[in-house]
Structure 1
Amino acid sequence: MKKFWLTGFLILASVFIITGCSNNTNTEEADGKQVIKIALSDEVNPPFLYTDDQNNPIGYDIDYLKEIENKLPEYKFEYTFGEEESNLVGVDTGKFDFAINWFFKNPEREQKFLYPTREYGYSMTSLVTKTDRNDIKTLDDMVGKKFPPMSPSGGLRSILNGYNEKHPENPLTIEDIDHPSNADNLKRVDERKADAIFLNKSTFDAIQKELKLDLKISGIVSKEPIFIVFNKEHTVLAEKIDKATLELNEDGTLSKLAEKWFEVDFFKDIDYINEKSFNYEK
């Protein structure tokens, strides 16, 4: 009988231990602080995120997270690089507390993850064409024309899907591909195999520095809010970071970081950016 009760106790104890481990990824401590595990995308996107000569992460995202960490001294941030989709799976399963990689909101991700109410920055979406083309400046101009293939679940695709929902009589034609290469797609436009590519301005800037293709940004379509993506159970963490982000926005810190990394305060509207002669060629 004693053996039976001992066996039962051990089973119950193991259940509690397993349950506790599955619901809490950040139980370890460093210097008395709670460790927060953060997933960074290894497909870097300067100036949001890239690495220095010592392979340390730098950029707007990292400076923002350093400001957040300073405001929340009870936490210590630890970073891990990984493939974006694997990072999101890790956030969903609790391997990571959150991921950061200029994520847009879309219905599919909002079902799986916890989004804060406050964006931490903006991505400038643009149309990139051959330098000799002046007929494409807006999404309306792409009706009946060809885009390179796009991921069906990406944030940029969700913007185009939204356009098609508003324009069912004249939708954009979009070809699906699971793992598109931005470099290859830009080459398609350069070779006139596609009319234009819809891309984040910063992504184009980074690739163009390497490839030096005969391409230009023909028009800025929008500025899209970008967010951290949290595990759904981390409501307290998300609320604290949300509050800290608001404070950083109100005291001008985020505007200063935007000007540092992008040479423009993207928290202001597009009219302001155009008035300041935002240099699309950089």
Structure 2
Amino acid sequence: MKKNAFRKIAVTLTCATILFTLTACGKKSEKEDDASEKGVTTITVATGNASLPFCYLNEDSKFDGLDVKLMEAIDKALPEYKFKFIGGDFPTTLSNLESGKAMIASFQFEVNNERKAKFTYGTVPYTDWDTFIVTNGDKGKALNTFDEAKGKKIYVTTGTNQAAMAENYLKEHKDAFTLVYGEYTNEQIVEAIKSGTVDATLAPKYSNDLFIKNYGVNFVIGNQPVNKSKAFILFNKKADVKLQKAVNDEMEKLKSDGTLLKLSKKYLGGDYVPKN
């Protein structure tokens, strides 16, 4: 009986030792995991989820597009940061940045006074965004200026620089044309112009090139833009200065090493990277 009792005690102690060892190992593993993440700061990046070819969800429901791949390339080069995307339409992306839900936003942002007051612009432009009036060539000639758009219905995406520039023109030329606001996809823009729901839209040359390539339409633009501009990323006003410098420096490198050009050719079909 005593031998059996000693055996039971020995077995109990052995089990306790094994359990303690496993528990200790588990705690060590958790600490190691914590240590591997130590010094890495997660940064939320606001972008679009349905704006081809800039920022959208692909067939695998993953973020894709020029703006997304640009931010992923920056993230890869900065091990001290981990970027996490949140998607939305254009106005939502701006509100996510303004509210602090995101510290960076990447969605082809042009410079205007309202945004300059609310956000901090990146220092490196990454896409030319000269704006043209896009019309259906099967229904008339190209329009070069807003003056030539008199009486037309022009689609603009809500909250964009294109909307702002057209609104500014209308302040001095009341009722010159009518603005139709929305959050249309490229396909919806094309259908609206083809059907005559609107007569025109405002877009950069490469957008019109994509309309023609992807939908087989005869859309035309004028021989001069109604506005010359470039696209930048935006930072929340409270974004860490170190983060801003790291991102801006890396964007400069990506421009110098040809990465921006590769992204432009892949997603926009040509070289639309600003030369300065």
Q: Same fold (TM over 0.5)?
A: yes
Deviation, 1:146, is 0.7
Q: Tell me, yes or no, if the aligned pair for 1:42 and 1:84 is still in contact at 8 Å.
A: no
Q: Are 1:173 and 2:177 counterparts?
A: yes
* Matches of 2:129 and 2:78, distance apart in 1: 26
Q: Tell me, yes or no, if the aligned pair for 1:45 and 1:206 is still in contact at 8 Å.
A: no
Superposed, 1:1-282 pairs within 5 Å as: 31-32=37-38, 33-46=40-53, 48-123=54-129, 125-139=131-145, 142-150=148-156, 153-161=159-167, 173-175=177-179, 177=181, 179=182, 181=184, 186-200=190-204, 212=215, 215-219=218-222, 221=225, 224-236=229-241, 237-267=243-273
Deviation, 1:55, is 0.7
Alpha-carbon deviations, 1:109-154, whole Å to 9, x = none? 1111111122122345343322324522412563424133545642
Q: From the superposition, tell whether residues 126 and 40 of structure 1 become closer, same or farther in structure 2 (CA, over 3 Å).
A: same
- Amino acid of the structure 1 residue aligned with 2:268: F
Deviation, 1:37, is 0.6
Deviation, 1:209, is 7.7
Q: From the superposition, tell whether residues 171 and 60 of structure 1 become closer, same or farther in structure 2 (CA, over 3 Å).
A: same
Identity across matched positions, percent: 24
- Amino acid of the structure 2 residue aligned with 1:60: L
TM-score (norm 2): 0.70
SS at match of 1:114: strand
- Amino acid of the structure 1 residue aligned with 2:219: K
Q: Tell me, yes or no, if the aligned pair for 2:110 and 2:231 is still in contact at 8 Å.
A: yes
2:4 is matched with none
Q: Tell me, yes or no, if the aligned pair for 1:255 and 1:266 is still in contact at 8 Å.
A: yes
Q: How many residues align?
A: 237
TM-score (norm 1): 0.69
Q: Which has the larger radius of gyration?
A: 2
Q: Tell me, yes or no, if the aligned pair for 2:151 and 2:178 is still in contact at 8 Å.
A: no
Q: From the superposition, tell whether residues 132 and 29 of structure 1 become closer, same or farther in structure 2 (CA, over 3 Å).
A: farther
Q: From the superposition, tell whether residues 153 and 61 of structure 1 become closer, same or farther in structure 2 (CA, over 3 Å).
A: closer
Which structure is higher in helix share? Answer: 2
RMSD of aligned residue pairs (Cα, Å): 3.3
* Matches of 2:137 and 2:180, distance apart in 1: 26
Structure 1, unpaired ranges of 5+: 1-27, 270-282
